[in-house]
Amino acid sequence: MKAKKINEINFDDEGSNKALAGWTQAFMGNPNFEKTVVVTEPFEITFRNQSEYAKLTFLLQKYRIPFEEMEPVSEYLKFSDGMEFDTSKPMHPEKRSDGWYVVGGGMLIPVDSEEEALQYIKQNARRGLK
């Protein structure tokens, strides 16, 4: 997901938790704080901190803002042709009988070559995906 600038706050994969945490802390801790956030497109935030998740869901429920919670996706994929992938590990290139893949970080991405796989991993490591 590309970063979206929303009233001076950048929400992206790497910084969403920090930006949201700062915004929530400022919102909840300052009685004179006022900020309007307009979201024009759906976006996802993945929390790795239960406290921040609780703060956001509290605010969404308090102000009756509709939201959808997604169940975690299985990290083990098995296809009907017998091919199996474990995506729970960090991203890495993997050669299979039908070609190259980037496997890991909860993802399975087909690529054309080992070089493309390594480039994809390097680019996404800069964005905080592992």
Residue with tokens 């994969």: 13
Q: CA nearest 94: which of 114, 71, 72, 73?
A: 114
pLDDT grade for 8, boundaries at 50, 70 and 90: very low
pLDDT grade for 88, boundaries at 50, 70 and 90: confident
pLDDT, tens only, 10-49: 445 455 556 666 666 655 666 666 767 777 777 777 777 7
The whole-number pLDDT of residue 113 equals 95
Q: CA nearest 109: which of 47, 48, 45, 96?
A: 96
Exposed, middle or buried by CB within 10 Å (0-12, 13-18, 19+), for 54?
A: exposed
**In contact, 108 and 85? CB cutoff 8 Å:** yes
Residue with tokens 């091919």: 83
% of the chain residues with pLDDT over 70: 65
Q: Is the pTM of this model over 0.85?
A: no
Q: For the chain, what are the domain ranges?
A: 4-62, 76-126
pLDDT, tens only, 63-85: 887 777 766 656 788 888 888 99
Beta strands of the chain (E only): which ranges? 4-6, 9-11, 76-78, 84-86, 92-96, 99-104, 107-111
Higher pLDDT, 110 or 71: 110
**In contact, 21 and 56? CB cutoff 8 Å:** no
